Structure 1
Amino acid sequence: MPPFVRHFGELRPDGTYYLSTSRESIITSLLAAGTFCGALLQAFLANTKTFGRKFSISFWAQVFIVGCVIQTAAGGSSPSAAFGMLPAGRFIAGLGVGALSALIPLYNSEAAPKDLRGPMVVMYQLMICAGIAWSYGLSWATSGIPNRACWMVPVGFQLFIGLVIAVGILFLPESPRLLLGRGNVEAASRSIATLNAVPIDHPLVHEEIADLQALLAVEEQAGKGRWIDLLGTKHQMWKRTLNACTIQFVQQLNDKYPVHARSFVHRPALHHDTDMFPILCRVFSVVLHARMVTLVGCIPSLWLIERLGRRKMLFIGGIGEIVCAVIAGLSGHFLLAATGTPESELTGSNIRDFLVGFFSSKIAADIGPLILLIFGGVLIFGCVYIYFMLPETSGLALEEIDEMYTLKIQPWKSSSWIPPSRIETARRDGIINEKDEVVHSELLTRKVGGGAGMAH
């Protein structure tokens, strides 16, 4: 926006303002640097007795607010001071974004009832898509303002979002797992009861407490976790880390490329149009339309992810994206880009953002739209990886997922795997007799994502 360039740019000899590539790089890259640091730093607060999960979320949301205040205040400062304030504010806001991006899925996975855990993952992605679509729309709505308000309003609006998170999380219960780890059984029981909308003396509460106590006992026996343990062989942690990173990388890589697609989608127009504004409007409309399609694509996933399962949803999304990326183009690709990934159940993406932003324009300059074949190839790799490496996690408690990895259940057999603890329960309930014969087969049918239902 011209007012932004005048305020943060440099003056040419002819009296016009411009943003140099170095200044543009500093402004854009420091947010990613902040998110990287925030994602690492959050771990040192989230596990403490003082903060815990929900107070850490509130704290980092306040850090985000501080960053937004500094960025917005840059609009009222002198140009020389403003250029220092804007990148600093973006870095500080990035700290909050990175920490919240790690904490909120963690809180969801620990607090949500198991039959709602899948929809919560999709809801998380849905809100990201909604936020991006809203940000594009707000930026477009203010782009015609002829003064600094054109960019200060969108930047300042983030304060409201940060405030909602910082205050709203305080009204939610703390993670039951964290409370029980502190030895506060009563508080953990109240939290489970609230989260599941049942009385505190409900059998479900006692069952969850017993499961968590057993898990914590195993964790205590195993000793304090270390960063290096993420790459260890015990309980196949290396595989779980690899799965989480690979699926996130493939999904997010293919979510980012349309942002840079302007480098080849509209190149022919650059040779025919002298007025850049219509071109920019078309670029904006493509990106906004794509984000809106992503938003629509999230909605059916809320229902399907627990009925079809994680693996099937990822296959459907991956194959659909391959077809759309190679044949149909950008808009169709986005429809299937948000079919929930299970990385929050198995265990950052800033380096990926840098690589895509740096290389995509250079590659597209040589091969144009054929760059879509590269992304299609990445998606094919993703589908193969899912089949051979990613187990089905729906319908299982987090503790049962731990058990599945420990027992090295093959991913292509994981949908029909029954946790040993459930087999023992089935024996006690008469579903399986003394000869290990199934008496009531209908009770052993696993409805994918069906909460406490049995696996067959």
Structure 2
Amino acid sequence: MARGYSAKIASNAYIVGSFACIGGGLFGLDISSMSGVLNNNAYFEVFNHPAANPQGAIVASMPAGSFVGSLAVASLADKIGRKKTIILSGWIWVIGSILQCAAQNRGMLVVGRIISGFAVGLASTTVPLYQAEITAPAIRGRIVSLQQWSITWGILLQYFVEFGCSYINGTASFRIPWGLQMIPAIILSVGMLWFPESPRWLIDHGREGEALQILADLHGRGDPQNELVQLEFEEISQQVHFEKTQGAKKWSDLLQPGIFRRVGLGASLQMWSQLSGMNIMMYYIIYVFQGAGLTGRRGNLIADSVQYVLNVAFTVPAIVYIDKWGRRPMLLTGTLLMGMWLCLVGGLQGRFGAWGAVEGSDSPVWVINGHEGVTRAIIVCSYFFVCSFAITMGPVSWTYPAEIFPMKVRAKAISLSTAANWLFNFALAWAVPPGLSNIAYKTYFVFASFNFAAFIHIFFCFPETKGRTLEEIEEVFAQGHVFTAWKIKKDVGVKTLEDLKANKKDEKEYVDEKASDA
């Protein structure tokens, strides 16, 4: 078999899984490409000083495109493969970046952002899918979590580029950062040519020889006869064969008993990640600190950058320990902490704030004046909120949906889950500026309530999935504990090497029996 990628690269699952994360970085680049221009005079002059509602629409145009892109993955990822879909997303992003960089009015800017959003939708859906299918269970959470880390790096790097360019007079202050966004996408699309396709997708398309060699490179140091590689190959093959006997892949498959429940879990977790309030702190952090009484363009930019640095730094422990801590504890802890910090921010804003004028805003805003201690407290609570999201909900919201679906519906189900993310991202990106303009500090209590609701939902309905193969997770959801997820034992579905060897014959007979019945 001709192998079109370096053996050294292909033998390292960390390199293979982490390189694709550049696709997540594109999402991060877009977030700070907007937040970094919200106090840029050149931006406001070119785009006719957008008020709260038009500015929300400009920001929301990207997640609108991402919503469509994430749904397109359902067909693309199954037809052309995970790898080619990621490559395609990079080139589409380049087109969107060119239009944004050259934008002369709001319409052109919105079109560019929609196209870039479509690319982000493709990448953000396909990358976790690809990572989950090429990694071993022991490191799967760690690898998929890199998607979130790459998002935080994209936010941070783009923000500092915009910070530096803000000292340039004229439109170059925002056009240069928007143009530089193309570089990571080009690296992603070109670099992915040297990386392997998902072995599960290859088996599903009758390319077993390539799939076996890729599994050997990733999990068996290049030896196709490695015992664990052979067992993994057989397990995937039998699962794919069994699913094929059940009929063609259709959207209606998502409504089947057992699968529909998981679609709900994946989509709702992505929904909760958006309703946590992280959008406020990423897209509109300048508005948040402005309302807290932080004045001065330079001081605001520095305070914002600290938040983005913390976002990157506190994602690292989650990546390292997600496969040790587990998904449930991280989600439960994170939602409680985020709800608490938002209550504190809202309470301080409500107690010490009032409607007033601030520099750079044409309309009154809810702002704190003359209370430096309160201003500092709100900034610190905002930092703690971001840290809480980064170390819990952020990474798990990408990992969990990528690992709970069977092969037959995985692309469509993850596509739908990620579409939920972008649907709520779109709604909140548009709604938050008018929300802050109209109900002010009460906005924070709304998002705090969402976090507490998420805690209840996760506690009752989300079973633990750490340490299990994608095939073993089927056993976890086969138990039927719909509202008693905490009762599922930690060792359910987990097989030792000896268990796999002992049960392999029985599994094969079971699959053959089901196939003959069909």
User: Which residue is equivalent to 1:217?
Assistant: 241
The correspondence for 1:201, drawn from 216, 225, 232, is: 225
User: Which residue is equivalent to 1:332?
Assistant: 384
User: Which residue is equivalent to 2:314?
Assistant: 297
SS of 1:183's equivalent? Answer: coil
User: Which residue is equivalent to 1:447?
Assistant: none
For residues 136 and 281 of structure 1, the distance between their equivalents in structure 2, rounded to whole angstroms, comes to 13
SS of 2:389's equivalent? Answer: coil
Aligned residues: 404
Contact 2:60–2:430 under 8 Å retained in 1: no
| Unpaired segments ≥5 residues, structure 1 | 10-17, 271-277, 430-456
TM-score after normalising by structure 1: 0.81
Quote the offset at 1:30 in angstroms: 2.8
**2:280 matched to 1:251?**
no
For residues 144 and 341 of structure 2, the distance between their equivalents in structure 1, rounded to whole angstroms, comes to 24
For residues 397 and 118 of structure 1, the distance between their equivalents in structure 2, rounded to whole angstroms, comes to 11
User: Which residue is equivalent to 2:330?
Assistant: 313
For residues 240 and 388 of structure 2, the distance between their equivalents in structure 1, rounded to whole angstroms, comes to 38
C-alpha spacing 1:268/1:139, structure 2 compared with 1 (3 Å)? closer
User: Which residue is equivalent to 1:274?
Assistant: none
Contact 1:41–1:99 under 8 Å retained in 2: yes
User: Which residue is equivalent to 2:451?
Assistant: 379
Contact 1:294–1:336 under 8 Å retained in 2: no
User: Which residue is equivalent to 2:150?
Assistant: 127
For residues 168 and 321 of structure 1, the distance between their equivalents in structure 2, rounded to whole angstroms, comes to 37
Give a deviation string over 1:326-383, Cα, whole Å, max 9, x none: 2362110111102231122234323312332444445445654344333222222212
For residues 374 and 177 of structure 1, the distance between their equivalents in structure 2, rounded to whole angstroms, comes to 42
Give a deviation string over 1:157-192, Cα, whole Å, max 9, x none: 111110111012121111000111111111001111
Quote the offset at 1:31 in angstroms: 1.9
**2:189 matched to 1:166?**
yes
Q: CA RMSD in A?
A: 2.7
Give a deviation string over 1:285-329, Cα, whole Å, max 9, x none: 443322222212111112221112111121222233233332362
Higher RCO (CA 8 Å, separation ≥ 6 residues): 2
C-alpha spacing 1:246/1:83, structure 2 compared with 1 (3 Å)? closer
Contact 1:393–1:401 under 8 Å retained in 2: yes
For residues 402 and 381 of structure 2, the distance between their equivalents in structure 1, rounded to whole angstroms, comes to 30
Alignment of 1:131-146 (within 5 A): 131-146=154-169
Contact 1:114–1:397 under 8 Å retained in 2: yes
For residues 91 and 7 of structure 1, the distance between their equivalents in structure 2, rounded to whole angstroms, comes to 19
For residues 501 and 186 of structure 2, the distance between their equivalents in structure 1, rounded to whole angstroms, comes to 51
Quote the offset at 1:400 in angstroms: 1.1
Alignment of 1:100-111 (within 5 A): 100-111=123-134
| Unpaired segments ≥5 residues, structure 2 | 1-39, 345-379, 406-418, 504-518
Quote the offset at 1:33 in angstroms: 2.2
**2:206 matched to 1:189?**
no
SS of 2:488's equivalent? Answer: helix
* Counterpart code for 1:184: R
Quote the offset at 1:73 in angstroms: 3.7
* Counterpart code for 2:317: P
Contact 1:391–1:415 under 8 Å retained in 2: no
C-alpha spacing 1:195/1:424, structure 2 compared with 1 (3 Å)? closer
**2:490 matched to 1:416?**
yes
Q: Which has the larger radius of gyration?
A: 1
Alignment of 1:377-416 (within 5 A): 377-409=449-481, 410-416=484-490
For residues 265 and 281 of structure 1, the distance between their equivalents in structure 2, rounded to whole angstroms, comes to 12
**2:240 matched to 1:240?**
no
User: Which residue is equivalent to 1:151?
Assistant: 174
For residues 226 and 480 of structure 2, the distance between their equivalents in structure 1, rounded to whole angstroms, comes to 34
